[in-house]
Structure 1
Protein backbone atom coordinates (compact mmCIF):
# COMPACT_ATOMS: atom_id res chain seq x y z
CA UNK A 1 0.00 0.00 0.00
CA UNK A 2 2.83 2.40 0.84
CA UNK A 3 4.35 1.76 -2.59
CA UNK A 4 1.08 2.72 -4.30
CA UNK A 5 0.77 5.86 -2.14
CA UNK A 6 4.34 6.90 -2.91
CA UNK A 7 3.81 6.26 -6.62
CA UNK A 8 0.62 8.34 -6.53
CA UNK A 9 2.43 11.24 -4.86
CA UNK A 10 5.22 10.95 -7.43
CA UNK A 11 2.75 11.09 -10.33
CA UNK A 12 1.20 14.23 -8.83
CA UNK A 13 4.65 15.81 -8.57
CA UNK A 14 5.45 14.94 -12.18
CA UNK A 15 2.11 16.44 -13.25
CA UNK A 16 2.95 19.61 -11.31
CA UNK A 17 6.37 19.81 -13.02
CA UNK A 18 4.85 19.49 -16.49
CA UNK A 19 1.98 21.88 -15.74
CA UNK A 20 4.33 24.53 -14.37
CA UNK A 21 6.60 24.20 -17.38
CA UNK A 22 3.71 24.36 -19.83
CA UNK A 23 2.16 27.41 -18.17
CA UNK A 24 5.31 29.48 -18.40
CA UNK A 25 5.54 30.05 -22.16
CA UNK A 26 7.90 32.96 -21.77
CA UNK A 27 10.35 30.81 -19.86
CA UNK A 28 10.09 28.05 -22.44
CA UNK A 29 10.77 30.53 -25.21
CA UNK A 30 13.97 31.57 -23.45
CA UNK A 31 15.16 27.96 -23.46
CA UNK A 32 14.27 26.95 -19.89
CA UNK A 33 11.75 24.11 -19.98
CA UNK A 34 11.01 20.78 -18.41
CA UNK A 35 13.09 17.90 -19.72
CA UNK A 36 13.06 14.23 -18.93
CA UNK A 37 13.46 10.66 -20.01
CA UNK A 38 11.74 7.29 -19.92
CA UNK A 39 13.91 4.19 -19.93
CA UNK A 40 13.71 0.42 -19.70
CA UNK A 41 16.64 -1.80 -18.79
CA UNK A 42 17.08 -5.58 -18.86
CA UNK A 43 20.01 -7.18 -16.99
CA UNK A 44 21.28 -10.53 -15.80
CA UNK A 45 21.16 -9.44 -12.13
CA UNK A 46 20.56 -6.53 -9.77
CA UNK A 47 23.52 -5.22 -7.77
CA UNK A 48 23.17 -2.34 -5.30
CA UNK A 49 26.34 -0.97 -3.70
CA UNK A 50 27.96 -4.33 -4.22
CA UNK A 51 25.12 -6.34 -2.66
CA UNK A 52 23.69 -9.07 -4.89
CA UNK A 53 19.90 -8.57 -4.84
CA UNK A 54 18.97 -11.16 -7.47
CA UNK A 55 20.32 -14.48 -8.72
CA UNK A 56 19.73 -16.89 -11.62
CA UNK A 57 17.10 -14.64 -13.22
CA UNK A 58 16.73 -11.61 -15.46
CA UNK A 59 15.70 -8.27 -14.00
CA UNK A 60 13.74 -5.52 -15.75
CA UNK A 61 14.25 -1.96 -14.54
CA UNK A 62 11.91 0.83 -15.74
CA UNK A 63 12.64 4.48 -14.91
CA UNK A 64 11.11 7.93 -15.37
CA UNK A 65 12.96 11.22 -14.79
CA UNK A 66 11.81 14.83 -15.07
CA UNK A 67 13.78 18.02 -14.33
CA UNK A 68 12.88 21.71 -14.37
CA UNK A 69 14.98 24.71 -13.35
CA UNK A 70 17.35 22.58 -11.30
CA UNK A 71 14.63 20.56 -9.59
CA UNK A 72 14.45 16.86 -10.40
CA UNK A 73 12.13 13.95 -9.72
CA UNK A 74 12.66 10.34 -10.69
CA UNK A 75 11.01 6.97 -10.24
CA UNK A 76 12.91 3.69 -10.65
CA UNK A 77 11.71 0.11 -10.33
CA UNK A 78 13.02 -3.44 -10.28
CA UNK A 79 11.15 -6.49 -11.57
CA UNK A 80 12.79 -9.82 -10.77
CA UNK A 81 11.51 -12.41 -13.24
CA UNK A 82 12.26 -15.39 -10.96
CA UNK A 83 13.28 -14.59 -7.39
CA UNK A 84 16.02 -16.64 -5.71
CA UNK A 85 17.77 -15.89 -2.39
CA UNK A 86 21.34 -14.62 -2.08
CA UNK A 87 23.54 -13.78 0.91
CA UNK A 88 22.01 -10.26 0.80
CA UNK A 89 18.48 -10.93 -0.46
CA UNK A 90 15.44 -12.73 0.95
CA UNK A 91 12.73 -13.01 -1.76
CA UNK A 92 9.19 -11.87 -1.06
CA UNK A 93 7.97 -14.40 -3.70
CA UNK A 94 10.63 -17.07 -4.09
CA UNK A 95 10.55 -18.83 -7.46
CA UNK A 96 8.09 -16.29 -8.87
CA UNK A 97 8.12 -12.94 -10.64
CA UNK A 98 7.99 -9.89 -8.37
CA UNK A 99 7.97 -6.13 -8.84
CA UNK A 100 9.97 -5.91 -5.64
CA UNK A 101 11.30 -2.36 -5.52
CA UNK A 102 10.14 1.17 -6.32
CA UNK A 103 12.52 4.05 -5.56
CA UNK A 104 11.49 7.71 -5.65
CA UNK A 105 14.05 10.54 -5.73
CA UNK A 106 13.59 14.30 -5.35
CA UNK A 107 16.58 16.58 -5.86
CA UNK A 108 17.83 20.08 -6.56
CA UNK A 109 21.02 20.94 -8.46
CA UNK A 110 22.87 24.25 -8.24
CA UNK A 111 25.61 25.01 -10.76
CA UNK A 112 28.67 27.16 -10.09
CA UNK A 113 30.68 27.37 -13.30
CA UNK A 114 31.87 23.76 -13.82
CA UNK A 115 30.80 22.59 -10.36
CA UNK A 116 27.36 21.00 -9.90
CA UNK A 117 26.08 20.65 -6.32
CA UNK A 118 23.06 18.39 -5.76
CA UNK A 119 21.04 17.64 -2.65
CA UNK A 120 18.07 15.35 -2.37
CA UNK A 121 15.93 12.68 -0.81
CA UNK A 122 15.44 9.01 -1.77
CA UNK A 123 12.58 6.73 -0.72
CA UNK A 124 13.30 3.01 -1.11
CA UNK A 125 10.06 1.04 -1.48
CA UNK A 126 11.37 -2.50 -1.09
CA UNK A 127 9.23 -5.61 -0.66
CA UNK A 128 12.17 -7.85 0.29
CA UNK A 129 13.30 -5.60 3.18
CA UNK A 130 11.94 -2.82 5.36
CA UNK A 131 11.29 0.36 3.40
CA UNK A 132 13.73 3.14 4.20
CA UNK A 133 14.78 6.69 3.27
CA UNK A 134 18.02 8.55 2.58
CA UNK A 135 19.14 12.12 2.17
CA UNK A 136 22.16 12.85 0.01
CA UNK A 137 24.61 15.49 -1.19
CA UNK A 138 26.85 15.24 -4.24
CA UNK A 139 29.39 17.39 -6.05
CA UNK A 140 30.42 16.90 -9.69
CA UNK A 141 33.19 18.81 -11.45
CA UNK A 142 32.87 19.01 -15.23
CA UNK A 143 36.42 18.21 -16.22
CA UNK A 144 38.12 15.36 -18.11
CA UNK A 145 36.81 12.46 -15.97
CA UNK A 146 33.85 14.27 -14.36
CA UNK A 147 34.68 13.20 -10.79
CA UNK A 148 31.69 12.96 -8.45
CA UNK A 149 31.70 12.64 -4.66
CA UNK A 150 28.35 11.63 -3.15
CA UNK A 151 27.36 11.19 0.51
CA UNK A 152 24.19 9.28 1.45
CA UNK A 153 22.71 9.11 4.94
CA UNK A 154 19.99 6.61 5.87
CA UNK A 155 17.48 8.41 8.10
CA UNK A 156 15.10 5.55 8.78
CA UNK A 157 15.57 1.77 9.06
CA UNK A 158 19.29 1.21 8.46
CA UNK A 159 21.05 4.23 9.93
CA UNK A 160 24.46 4.61 8.34
CA UNK A 161 26.52 6.72 5.94
CA UNK A 162 27.69 5.69 2.49
CA UNK A 163 30.30 7.66 0.54
CA UNK A 164 30.93 7.08 -3.15
CA UNK A 165 33.60 8.52 -5.42
CA UNK A 166 33.07 7.99 -9.15
CA UNK A 167 34.47 9.08 -12.49
CA UNK A 168 33.26 8.68 -16.07
CA UNK A 169 34.28 9.46 -19.63
CA UNK A 170 32.46 9.20 -22.97
CA UNK A 171 34.57 8.85 -26.11
CA UNK A 172 33.16 9.29 -29.64
CA UNK A 173 34.01 6.24 -31.75
CA UNK A 174 31.82 6.42 -34.88
CA UNK A 175 29.45 9.18 -35.95
CA UNK A 176 27.14 9.69 -32.94
CA UNK A 177 28.07 6.42 -31.22
CA UNK A 178 30.13 6.78 -28.03
CA UNK A 179 32.10 4.45 -25.78
CA UNK A 180 31.15 5.11 -22.15
CA UNK A 181 33.63 4.22 -19.39
CA UNK A 182 33.26 4.59 -15.64
CA UNK A 183 34.47 3.49 -12.22
CA UNK A 184 33.43 4.01 -8.61
CA UNK A 185 34.51 3.19 -5.06
CA UNK A 186 32.36 3.16 -1.92
CA UNK A 187 33.03 3.48 1.82
CA UNK A 188 30.42 2.61 4.44
CA UNK A 189 30.00 3.59 8.11
CA UNK A 190 27.26 1.73 9.99
CA UNK A 191 25.46 3.53 12.82
CA UNK A 192 22.45 1.40 13.79
CA UNK A 193 22.68 -1.87 15.73
CA UNK A 194 21.57 -3.53 12.49
CA UNK A 195 25.18 -3.17 11.31
CA UNK A 196 26.77 -5.13 14.18
CA UNK A 197 29.18 -7.74 12.82
CA UNK A 198 29.42 -11.48 13.43
CA UNK A 199 31.55 -12.68 16.34
CA UNK A 200 32.82 -16.24 16.63
CA UNK A 201 32.90 -16.01 20.44
CA UNK A 202 29.16 -15.40 20.71
CA UNK A 203 28.00 -17.07 17.49
CA UNK A 204 25.86 -14.01 16.77
CA UNK A 205 25.93 -10.47 15.37
CA UNK A 206 27.25 -8.80 18.52
CA UNK A 207 30.51 -7.31 17.24
CA UNK A 208 31.48 -3.77 16.33
CA UNK A 209 29.41 -2.03 13.68
CA UNK A 210 30.44 -2.65 10.08
CA UNK A 211 32.68 0.05 8.63
CA UNK A 212 35.28 0.27 5.89
CA UNK A 213 36.01 0.38 2.20
CA UNK A 214 33.06 -1.44 0.71
CA UNK A 215 32.39 -1.82 -3.02
CA UNK A 216 34.24 -1.11 -6.23
CA UNK A 217 32.84 -1.05 -9.75
CA UNK A 218 34.19 -0.57 -13.27
CA UNK A 219 31.99 -0.42 -16.35
CA UNK A 220 31.99 -0.02 -20.11
CA UNK A 221 29.15 0.51 -22.54
CA UNK A 222 28.02 2.06 -25.78
CA UNK A 223 25.49 4.80 -26.47
CA UNK A 224 23.88 4.16 -29.86
CA UNK A 225 21.25 6.58 -31.26
CA UNK A 226 18.56 4.66 -33.15
CA UNK A 227 15.97 7.42 -33.71
CA UNK A 228 15.33 11.01 -32.74
CA UNK A 229 15.64 11.21 -28.93
CA UNK A 230 16.01 7.41 -28.59
CA UNK A 231 19.23 5.59 -27.69
CA UNK A 232 20.14 2.03 -26.79
CA UNK A 233 22.97 1.38 -24.34
CA UNK A 234 24.49 -2.09 -24.01
CA UNK A 235 26.77 -2.25 -20.97
CA UNK A 236 28.83 -4.47 -18.72
CA UNK A 237 29.83 -3.85 -15.10
CA UNK A 238 32.30 -5.62 -12.83
CA UNK A 239 31.63 -5.32 -9.09
CA UNK A 240 34.11 -6.36 -6.41
CA UNK A 241 34.75 -5.95 -2.65
CA UNK A 242 37.24 -3.24 -1.71
CA UNK A 243 38.38 -4.71 1.61
CA UNK A 244 38.71 -7.91 3.55
CA UNK A 245 35.82 -6.84 5.78
CA UNK A 246 33.51 -6.47 2.78
CA UNK A 247 34.05 -10.08 1.64
CA UNK A 248 34.72 -11.66 5.05
CA UNK A 249 32.91 -14.71 6.39
CA UNK A 250 33.15 -16.17 9.91
CA UNK A 251 32.23 -19.84 10.32
CA UNK A 252 30.30 -19.65 7.02
CA UNK A 253 28.40 -16.55 8.19
CA UNK A 254 28.79 -13.17 6.51
CA UNK A 255 30.78 -10.82 8.77
CA UNK A 256 28.49 -7.99 7.63
CA UNK A 257 24.89 -8.76 8.59
CA UNK A 258 23.75 -7.40 5.23
CA UNK A 259 25.79 -10.04 3.39
CA UNK A 260 29.31 -10.44 2.04
CA UNK A 261 30.32 -9.04 -1.34
CA UNK A 262 31.53 -11.21 -4.22
CA UNK A 263 33.19 -10.51 -7.56
CA UNK A 264 30.19 -10.15 -9.87
CA UNK A 265 29.52 -9.26 -13.50
CA UNK A 266 26.38 -7.42 -14.62
CA UNK A 267 25.48 -7.10 -18.28
CA UNK A 268 22.43 -5.96 -20.18
CA UNK A 269 20.79 -3.24 -22.23
CA UNK A 270 19.05 0.10 -21.60
CA UNK A 271 16.65 1.80 -24.00
CA UNK A 272 16.01 5.49 -23.31
CA UNK A 273 13.59 8.03 -24.78
CA UNK A 274 14.41 11.66 -23.95
CA UNK A 275 11.90 14.50 -24.11
Structure 2
Protein backbone atom coordinates (compact mmCIF):
# COMPACT_ATOMS: atom_id res chain seq x y z
CA UNK A 1 0.00 0.00 0.00
CA UNK A 2 1.93 3.00 -1.31
CA UNK A 3 -0.21 5.44 0.62
CA UNK A 4 1.11 3.99 3.87
CA UNK A 5 4.59 5.42 3.21
CA UNK A 6 3.01 8.82 2.74
CA UNK A 7 1.03 8.35 5.96
CA UNK A 8 4.20 7.58 7.90
CA UNK A 9 5.89 10.65 6.41
CA UNK A 10 2.94 12.88 7.28
CA UNK A 11 2.87 11.60 10.86
CA UNK A 12 6.59 12.28 11.29
CA UNK A 13 6.26 15.78 9.84
CA UNK A 14 3.30 16.57 12.12
CA UNK A 15 5.09 15.42 15.27
CA UNK A 16 8.38 17.12 14.55
CA UNK A 17 6.63 20.32 13.42
CA UNK A 18 4.59 20.22 16.60
CA UNK A 19 7.76 19.86 18.67
CA UNK A 20 9.30 22.93 17.04
CA UNK A 21 6.10 24.91 17.58
CA UNK A 22 6.07 23.94 21.24
CA UNK A 23 9.67 25.03 21.58
CA UNK A 24 8.78 28.48 20.21
CA UNK A 25 5.66 28.77 22.32
CA UNK A 26 7.19 27.95 25.68
CA UNK A 27 10.41 29.87 24.88
CA UNK A 28 12.36 27.87 27.37
CA UNK A 29 15.95 26.85 27.21
CA UNK A 30 16.69 23.21 26.56
CA UNK A 31 16.78 21.43 29.93
CA UNK A 32 20.27 20.54 31.01
CA UNK A 33 20.91 16.83 31.26
CA UNK A 34 22.40 15.81 34.57
CA UNK A 35 26.07 14.93 34.51
CA UNK A 36 25.20 11.70 36.23
CA UNK A 37 24.96 8.10 35.13
CA UNK A 38 21.59 6.54 35.98
CA UNK A 39 20.09 3.18 35.21
CA UNK A 40 18.35 0.06 36.37
CA UNK A 41 18.78 -3.71 36.65
CA UNK A 42 15.65 -5.85 36.50
CA UNK A 43 14.35 -9.36 36.04
CA UNK A 44 10.85 -10.58 35.28
CA UNK A 45 9.17 -13.97 35.48
CA UNK A 46 6.13 -14.36 33.21
CA UNK A 47 3.70 -17.02 32.03
CA UNK A 48 4.38 -16.39 28.35
CA UNK A 49 6.50 -14.34 25.94
CA UNK A 50 4.44 -12.19 23.55
CA UNK A 51 6.05 -9.82 21.05
CA UNK A 52 3.74 -7.49 19.09
CA UNK A 53 0.97 -10.04 19.51
CA UNK A 54 3.03 -13.02 18.33
CA UNK A 55 3.18 -15.96 20.75
CA UNK A 56 6.86 -16.80 21.17
CA UNK A 57 6.38 -19.33 23.97
CA UNK A 58 3.70 -21.72 25.19
CA UNK A 59 3.04 -23.62 28.41
CA UNK A 60 6.29 -22.59 30.09
CA UNK A 61 7.65 -19.86 32.32
CA UNK A 62 9.94 -17.25 30.76
CA UNK A 63 12.60 -15.24 32.60
CA UNK A 64 13.52 -11.83 31.18
CA UNK A 65 16.56 -9.95 32.55
CA UNK A 66 17.23 -6.34 31.59
CA UNK A 67 19.95 -3.72 32.23
CA UNK A 68 19.72 -0.03 31.29
CA UNK A 69 22.37 2.68 31.62
CA UNK A 70 21.66 6.34 30.77
CA UNK A 71 23.79 9.49 30.54
CA UNK A 72 22.85 12.95 29.23
CA UNK A 73 19.93 11.66 27.19
CA UNK A 74 21.79 8.65 25.78
CA UNK A 75 20.70 5.17 26.85
CA UNK A 76 21.92 1.62 26.35
CA UNK A 77 19.65 -1.30 27.18
CA UNK A 78 20.25 -5.04 27.20
CA UNK A 79 17.21 -7.35 27.32
CA UNK A 80 17.09 -11.15 27.27
CA UNK A 81 14.60 -14.01 27.22
CA UNK A 82 15.03 -17.44 28.81
CA UNK A 83 12.35 -19.99 27.95
CA UNK A 84 12.33 -22.74 30.58
CA UNK A 85 10.69 -25.31 28.28
CA UNK A 86 10.45 -24.42 24.60
CA UNK A 87 7.29 -25.48 22.75
CA UNK A 88 6.24 -24.64 19.20
CA UNK A 89 3.46 -22.13 18.48
CA UNK A 90 2.02 -20.72 15.26
CA UNK A 91 4.71 -17.99 15.45
CA UNK A 92 7.62 -19.80 17.07
CA UNK A 93 9.85 -22.73 16.13
CA UNK A 94 12.05 -23.75 19.11
CA UNK A 95 15.82 -23.92 18.78
CA UNK A 96 15.84 -26.45 21.69
CA UNK A 97 12.44 -28.23 21.72
CA UNK A 98 11.23 -29.28 25.19
CA UNK A 99 14.40 -27.88 26.76
CA UNK A 100 15.50 -24.64 28.43
CA UNK A 101 16.94 -22.04 26.07
CA UNK A 102 18.41 -18.56 26.46
CA UNK A 103 16.96 -17.79 23.06
CA UNK A 104 17.07 -14.01 22.70
CA UNK A 105 19.47 -11.17 23.55
CA UNK A 106 18.52 -7.68 22.35
CA UNK A 107 20.52 -4.45 22.46
CA UNK A 108 18.92 -0.99 22.19
CA UNK A 109 20.79 2.30 21.72
CA UNK A 110 18.78 5.51 21.93
CA UNK A 111 18.86 9.26 22.48
CA UNK A 112 16.03 11.33 23.97
CA UNK A 113 15.62 15.06 23.30
CA UNK A 114 13.20 16.82 25.71
CA UNK A 115 11.24 19.94 24.78
CA UNK A 116 9.14 21.01 27.76
CA UNK A 117 6.56 18.18 28.11
CA UNK A 118 7.41 16.65 24.74
CA UNK A 119 10.13 14.00 24.41
CA UNK A 120 11.55 12.89 21.07
CA UNK A 121 13.55 9.66 20.95
CA UNK A 122 15.47 8.02 18.15
CA UNK A 123 17.32 4.74 18.30
CA UNK A 124 18.52 1.41 17.03
CA UNK A 125 17.63 -2.14 18.13
CA UNK A 126 19.58 -5.33 17.47
CA UNK A 127 17.54 -8.53 17.93
CA UNK A 128 19.84 -11.45 18.72
CA UNK A 129 17.43 -14.36 18.30
CA UNK A 130 18.33 -18.06 18.21
CA UNK A 131 14.91 -19.25 16.99
CA UNK A 132 14.85 -17.10 13.85
CA UNK A 133 17.17 -14.88 11.80
CA UNK A 134 18.76 -12.04 13.73
CA UNK A 135 17.58 -8.62 12.60
CA UNK A 136 17.85 -4.86 13.23
CA UNK A 137 15.46 -1.94 13.55
CA UNK A 138 15.63 1.83 13.75
CA UNK A 139 12.88 3.79 15.44
CA UNK A 140 11.51 7.26 16.16
CA UNK A 141 9.23 8.06 19.07
CA UNK A 142 7.30 11.09 20.31
CA UNK A 143 5.79 11.19 23.81
CA UNK A 144 3.81 13.96 25.53
CA UNK A 145 3.82 14.20 29.33
CA UNK A 146 0.14 14.68 30.12
CA UNK A 147 -2.40 12.31 31.65
CA UNK A 148 -2.32 9.00 29.70
CA UNK A 149 1.13 9.97 28.30
CA UNK A 150 0.32 9.36 24.61
CA UNK A 151 3.33 7.94 22.75
CA UNK A 152 3.66 7.27 19.03
CA UNK A 153 6.58 5.08 17.89
CA UNK A 154 7.53 4.07 14.37
CA UNK A 155 9.85 1.08 13.92
CA UNK A 156 11.55 0.15 10.66
CA UNK A 157 13.24 -3.23 10.14
CA UNK A 158 16.40 -2.64 8.12
CA UNK A 159 17.73 -6.18 7.95
CA UNK A 160 16.08 -9.62 7.77
CA UNK A 161 12.38 -8.71 7.70
CA UNK A 162 11.87 -5.31 6.00
CA UNK A 163 8.67 -3.72 7.18
CA UNK A 164 7.23 -0.86 9.23
CA UNK A 165 5.48 -1.18 12.59
CA UNK A 166 3.60 1.76 14.12
CA UNK A 167 2.56 1.67 17.78
CA UNK A 168 0.36 4.11 19.70
CA UNK A 169 0.44 3.65 23.48
CA UNK A 170 -1.05 5.21 26.60
CA UNK A 171 -0.15 4.78 30.27
CA UNK A 172 -0.99 6.30 33.65
CA UNK A 173 -0.25 5.53 37.29
CA UNK A 174 -2.53 6.19 40.24
CA UNK A 175 -1.31 6.35 43.84
CA UNK A 176 -3.31 3.84 45.87
CA UNK A 177 -1.48 3.59 49.19
CA UNK A 178 1.57 5.53 50.30
CA UNK A 179 4.11 4.99 47.47
CA UNK A 180 2.26 2.04 45.88
CA UNK A 181 0.78 2.83 42.47
CA UNK A 182 -1.75 1.19 40.20
CA UNK A 183 -0.32 1.23 36.67
CA UNK A 184 -2.64 1.04 33.65
CA UNK A 185 -1.54 0.91 30.02
CA UNK A 186 -2.86 0.22 26.53
CA UNK A 187 -1.23 0.01 23.12
CA UNK A 188 -2.31 -0.54 19.51
CA UNK A 189 -0.14 -1.52 16.56
CA UNK A 190 -0.25 -1.39 12.76
CA UNK A 191 2.16 -3.35 10.56
CA UNK A 192 3.05 -3.25 6.87
CA UNK A 193 5.49 -5.78 5.39
CA UNK A 194 7.66 -4.75 2.44
CA UNK A 195 9.66 -7.91 1.71
CA UNK A 196 8.60 -11.14 -0.03
CA UNK A 197 8.82 -12.80 3.40
CA UNK A 198 5.56 -11.06 4.26
CA UNK A 199 3.54 -12.57 1.40
CA UNK A 200 0.29 -14.00 2.74
CA UNK A 201 -1.15 -17.51 2.40
CA UNK A 202 -2.90 -18.13 -0.92
CA UNK A 203 -5.38 -21.03 -0.83
CA UNK A 204 -5.20 -21.37 -4.63
CA UNK A 205 -1.48 -22.27 -4.50
CA UNK A 206 -1.30 -23.67 -0.97
CA UNK A 207 1.77 -21.48 -0.38
CA UNK A 208 2.71 -18.01 0.81
CA UNK A 209 2.38 -16.29 -2.56
CA UNK A 210 -0.40 -13.77 -1.82
CA UNK A 211 -0.12 -10.03 -1.37
CA UNK A 212 2.16 -8.72 1.34
CA UNK A 213 0.71 -8.60 4.83
CA UNK A 214 -0.48 -5.23 6.12
CA UNK A 215 -3.08 -4.76 8.84
CA UNK A 216 -4.11 -3.19 12.07
CA UNK A 217 -2.19 -5.79 13.99
CA UNK A 218 -2.09 -6.13 17.77
CA UNK A 219 -3.64 -4.58 20.85
CA UNK A 220 -2.59 -4.85 24.49
CA UNK A 221 -4.29 -3.90 27.74
CA UNK A 222 -2.19 -3.99 30.90
CA UNK A 223 -2.70 -3.51 34.63
CA UNK A 224 -0.23 -3.85 37.47
CA UNK A 225 1.20 -2.39 40.65
CA UNK A 226 4.52 -0.79 41.49
CA UNK A 227 5.42 -1.66 45.08
CA UNK A 228 8.54 -0.21 46.78
CA UNK A 229 10.13 -2.85 49.01
CA UNK A 230 13.32 -0.99 49.96
CA UNK A 231 15.37 1.97 48.78
CA UNK A 232 15.69 1.89 44.97
CA UNK A 233 14.00 -1.53 44.74
CA UNK A 234 10.46 -2.09 43.45
CA UNK A 235 8.33 -5.14 42.72
CA UNK A 236 5.83 -5.02 39.84
CA UNK A 237 3.13 -7.70 39.52
CA UNK A 238 1.35 -7.35 36.17
CA UNK A 239 -1.32 -8.90 33.97
CA UNK A 240 -1.66 -8.33 30.21
CA UNK A 241 -4.37 -9.09 27.68
CA UNK A 242 -3.24 -9.30 24.04
CA UNK A 243 -5.67 -9.43 21.12
CA UNK A 244 -5.74 -9.08 17.30
CA UNK A 245 -6.94 -5.72 15.98
CA UNK A 246 -8.34 -6.99 12.67
CA UNK A 247 -9.59 -10.07 10.86
CA UNK A 248 -6.36 -10.16 8.87
CA UNK A 249 -4.29 -10.39 12.06
CA UNK A 250 -6.24 -13.42 13.35
CA UNK A 251 -7.07 -15.01 9.99
CA UNK A 252 -6.42 -18.71 9.33
CA UNK A 253 -6.81 -20.14 5.80
CA UNK A 254 -7.05 -23.89 5.22
CA UNK A 255 -5.41 -24.49 8.59
CA UNK A 256 -2.51 -22.11 7.89
CA UNK A 257 -1.99 -18.60 9.25
CA UNK A 258 -2.75 -15.90 6.68
CA UNK A 259 0.28 -13.98 7.96
CA UNK A 260 3.51 -15.90 7.36
CA UNK A 261 4.65 -14.95 10.88
CA UNK A 262 1.60 -16.60 12.42
CA UNK A 263 -1.91 -15.51 13.37
CA UNK A 264 -2.74 -13.68 16.59
CA UNK A 265 -4.98 -15.04 19.34
CA UNK A 266 -6.58 -13.54 22.42
CA UNK A 267 -3.86 -14.24 25.00
CA UNK A 268 -3.32 -13.55 28.70
CA UNK A 269 0.08 -13.03 30.33
CA UNK A 270 0.75 -12.75 34.06
CA UNK A 271 3.96 -12.30 35.99
CA UNK A 272 6.09 -10.22 38.28
CA UNK A 273 9.22 -8.15 37.87
CA UNK A 274 11.75 -6.73 40.32
CA UNK A 275 13.81 -3.63 39.55
CA UNK A 276 16.83 -2.02 41.22
CA UNK A 277 17.37 1.60 40.13
CA UNK A 278 20.53 3.64 40.54
- TM-score, normalised on structure 1? 0.89
Where does residue 185 of structure 2 map in the other structure?
Answer: 182
Q: Does residue 140 of the first structure (1) align with residue 134 of the second (2)?
A: no
Runs of 4 or more, structure 1, over 6 Å off, are none
Alpha-carbon distance in structure 2 between the residues aligned to 1:184 and 1:40: 22
Where does residue 224 of structure 1 map in the other structure?
Answer: 227
Q: Does residue 236 of the first structure (1) align with residue 239 of the second (2)?
A: yes
Where does residue 213 of structure 2 map in the other structure?
Answer: 210
Where 1:198 maps in the other structure, the secondary structure is: coil
Alpha-carbon distance in structure 2 between the residues aligned to 1:114 and 1:185: 22
Where does residue 160 of structure 1 map in the other structure?
Answer: 163
Question: Which has more strand, going by share of residues?
Answer: 1
Where 2:204 maps in the other structure, the secondary structure is: coil
Where does residue 268 of structure 1 map in the other structure?
Answer: 271
- When the two chains are superposed, the root-mean-square deviation of aligned CA atoms in Å is 0.7
Q: Give, in angstroms, the shift of residue 235 of structure 1.
A: 0.2
Alpha-carbon distance in structure 2 between the residues aligned to 1:269 and 1:66: 22
Query: Do 2:86 and 2:97's aligned partners in 1 also have CA atoms closer than 8 Å?
Result: yes
Q: Give, in angstroms, the shift of residue 127 of structure 1.
A: 0.1
Where 2:243 maps in the other structure, the secondary structure is: strand
Alpha-carbon distance in structure 2 between the residues aligned to 1:31 and 1:234: 31
Q: Deviations over 1:134-175 (max 9, x none)?
A: 000000000011000000000000000000000000000000
Where does residue 131 of structure 1 map in the other structure?
Answer: 134
Q: Give, in angstroms, the shift of residue 57 of structure 1.
A: 0.3
Q: Give, in angstroms, the shift of residue 32 of structure 1.
A: 2.8
Q: Does residue 107 of the first structure (1) align with residue 77 of the second (2)?
A: no
Alpha-carbon distance in structure 2 between the residues aligned to 1:68 and 1:273: 17
- Residue 252 of structure 1: which of 255, 258, 261 is its match? 255
Alpha-carbon distance in structure 2 between the residues aligned to 1:200 and 1:111: 50
Query: Do 2:34 and 2:72's aligned partners in 1 also have CA atoms closer than 8 Å?
Result: no
Q: Deviations over 1:149-202 (max 9, x none)?
A: 000000000000000000000000000000000000000000000000001111
Where 1:63 maps in the other structure, the secondary structure is: strand
Instruction: Specify whether residues 202 and 181 from structure 1 end up closer, same or farther in structure 2 by C-alpha distance, changes over 3 A only.
Output: same
Where does residue 78 of structure 1 map in the other structure?
Answer: 81
Alpha-carbon distance in structure 2 between the residues aligned to 1:92 and 1:145: 39
Where 2:76 maps in the other structure, the secondary structure is: strand
Where does residue 21 of structure 1 map in the other structure?
Answer: none
